[in-house]
């Protein structure tokens, strides 16, 4: 079967790496450290995928402006104490390795900063699978389409030959804004019903389903 896509772009947190709970918990712990309003779990999870400063402004909208810089620092303190131990989702490595072996160009579009993504790629042993990456500090945060536009330009792939995979509504909107097909996964930060409202091509509940979908549809 001929390929439908040439480039497959993955979000990272909540899509490839099982980091949702640690990110949400780090946001909440940072707020407690600074006596700020602690967002509930749903709010803390909803902002995952945005650039960190933007995410914290959405999660803690009543914080004084002067508190966001120390809030970023406290978040990083809590997250970095745990990030080396965060696992990949079961089946993620095997699925991405299979796509790489099949000749797809692979990218990452993430709200992490560049240093954080590089640590994650290296600690997980996944760096060699990806041909290009974009982070929120390098360009505009999701759902602005810039990440996908830049990846497609760098890898010389058109929007019609590109697929996005992500776990949040930010990822689905990113793809939509770039004119790119998108598959959502329901094991990350945003609930399935929110993802389905945006009508992705498919909604996958684990990597075994996603791997089978790639084999048939990608």
Q: Is the residue at 38 inside a domain? A: yes
DSSP H helical segments within 47-129, as ranges? 52-59, 68-80, 92-101, 114-124
Q: 155 in the Ramachandran plot: left (φ > 0), alpha (ψ -120 to 50) or beta? A: alpha
**173 three-class SS:** helix
Residue 13 known to be catalytic:
yes
User: pLDDT (tens digit, 9 = 90+) per residue, 135-179?
Assistant: 999 999 999 999 999 999 999 999 999 999 999 999 999 999 999
CA dist., res. 130 & res. 153, Å (int): 15
Domain boundary (69, 84, 99) is at 84
Cα→Cα distances 124→115, 121, 198, Å: 14, 5, 31
Domain boundary (84, 101, 121) is at 84
Residue 11 known to be catalytic:
yes
**pLDDT attached to residue 159:** 98
The model carries a pTM of: 0.94
**130 three-class SS:** coil
Are 26 and 41 members of one domain?
yes
**pLDDT attached to residue 67:** 95
Q: Is the residue at 197 inside a domain? A: yes
Are 160 and 185 members of one domain?
yes
Averaged pLDDT of the chain: 96
**pLDDT attached to residue 125:** 95
- In this prediction, residue 1 has a pLDDT band, given cuts at 50, 70 and 90, of low
The residue behind tokens 């505009």 is 140
CA 134 to chain centre: 11
Catalytic hit among 13, 83, 167, 181: 13
CATH number at residue 148: 3.40.50.1000
User: pLDDT (tens digit, 9 = 90+) per residue, 193-213?
Assistant: 999 999 999 999 999 999 999
Q: 14 in the Ramachandran plot: left (φ > 0), alpha (ψ -120 to 50) or beta? A: left
Domain that holds residue 61: 20-84
Catalytic hit among 11, 83, 167, 181: 11
Domain boundary (55, 84, 113) is at 84
CA dist., res. 145 & res. 136, Å (int): 11
């Amino acid at each position: 079967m001929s390929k439908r896509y040439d480039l497959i772009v993955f979000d990272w947190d909540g899509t490839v790496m099982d980091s949702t709970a640690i990110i949400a918990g780090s946001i909440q712990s940072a707020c407690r450290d600074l006596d700020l309003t602690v967002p509930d779990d749903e709010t803390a999870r909803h902002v995952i995928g945005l650039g960190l400063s933007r995410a914290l402004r959405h999660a803690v909208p009543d914080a004084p402006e002067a508190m966001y810089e120390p809030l970023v620092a406290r978040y990083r303190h809590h997250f970095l104490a745990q990030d080396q131990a965060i696992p990949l989702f079961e089946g993620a490595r095997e699925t991405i390795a299979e796509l790489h072996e099949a000749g797809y160009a692979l990218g990452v579009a993430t709200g992490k900063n560049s240093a954080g993504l590089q640590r994650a790629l290296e600690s997980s042993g996944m760096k060699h699978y990806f041909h290009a990456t974009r982070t929120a500090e390098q360009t505009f945060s999701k759902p602005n389409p810039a990440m996908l536009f830049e990846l497609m330009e760098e890898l010389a792939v058109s929007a019609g030959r590109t697929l996005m995979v992500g776990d949040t509504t930010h990822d689905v909107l990113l793809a939509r804004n770039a004119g790119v097909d998108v598959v959502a996964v329901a094991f990350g930060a945003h609930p399935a019903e929110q993802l389905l409202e945006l009508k992705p091509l498919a909604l996958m509940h684990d990597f075994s389903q996603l791997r089978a979908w790639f084999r048939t549809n990608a």
